[in-house]
Homo-oligomer: A and B are copies of this chain.
């Protein structure tokens, strides 16, 4: 049996990066990797890599390091990427289309089943083999087809109302791209917010910051 110690969010958020780097290594035909090598790639320390991986079990071998294909597979299982969680997408504007076209859902644990929009000029159009549906059908569709997750790509408006509807029809996981935080009152709902503008503001802050710090001379 595995240790029951709760995994911290900091560790969890690093797992996808390990996964990506391992995929790169695997694709390059690299067969073994040390915690030190991985750390260099990640921009962290060997100690942290070992600490992270050991949360889930001893995948390495002393004197050798980690077997790349094996470790890759382990992390894939840890993340649960072999799942086929059924998901709907709301909002087929630029953002929704970008998400649909940019992300490989199948490799990341999901199957995108349907896309919805409220804009009549979009309803009925095709995207990646899906016909865009009227958001009015959302509740029934999710209940009947037992959706697991929803990707919220509504660009401007509030996201609370569709959130409510989706929760009522059984959806418990939300990937939220809207400008507003999706505050779920239900403790069994999982919300993963992606705030692009927050990230841009952070970039802006860091740019100012580096200016003031760099200006030692002048």
Q: Which residues of A line the B interface, CB within 8 A?
A: 7, 12-13, 15-17, 19-20, 24, 41, 43, 78-81, 83, 85, 93-95, 97-105, 108-110, 148-149, 155, 172-173, 175, 179-181, 183, 188, 190, 192, 194-210, 214
Contact = CB atoms under 8 A, between A and B. Distances in A.
Contacts of A210: 172, 188, 190
A205 to B, nearest CB: 5
Interface centre among A7, A100, A199 (most CB of B within 10 A): A199
Contacts of A207: 80, 83, 85, 109, 148-149, 172-173, 190
Contacts of A199: 16, 175, 192, 194
A12 B85 CA distance: 34
Given A108-B200, A196-B103, A205 B78 contact: yes
A103 to B, nearest CB: 6
Counting every copy of the chain, the complex holds: 2
Nearest to A23: B179
24 contacts: A12-B205, A13-B198, A16-B195, A16-B201, A16-B202, A20-B181, A78-B205, A79-B201, A79-B205, A80-B204, A80-B208, A93-B102, A94-B94, A94-B101, A97-B97, A103-B197, A105-B200, A108-B204, A109-B204, A149-B203, A172-B207, A173-B207, A188-B210, A192-B202
Contact of A155 (B16, B41, B102): B102
Given A81-B201, A109-B207, 12 more contacts: A7-B209, A13-B198, A15-B205, A16-B198, A79-B205, A80-B208, A81-B204, A94-B94, A103-B197, A108-B204, A172-B210, A190-B203
Given A79-B205, A97-B94, A203-B190, A198 B20 contact: yes
Contact of A95 (B98, B108, B180, B202): B98
Contact of A203 (B94, B175, B195, B198): B175
Contacts of A155: 101-102
A80 B99 CA distance: 29
Given A102-B155, A181-B17, A195-B16, A201 B97 contact: no
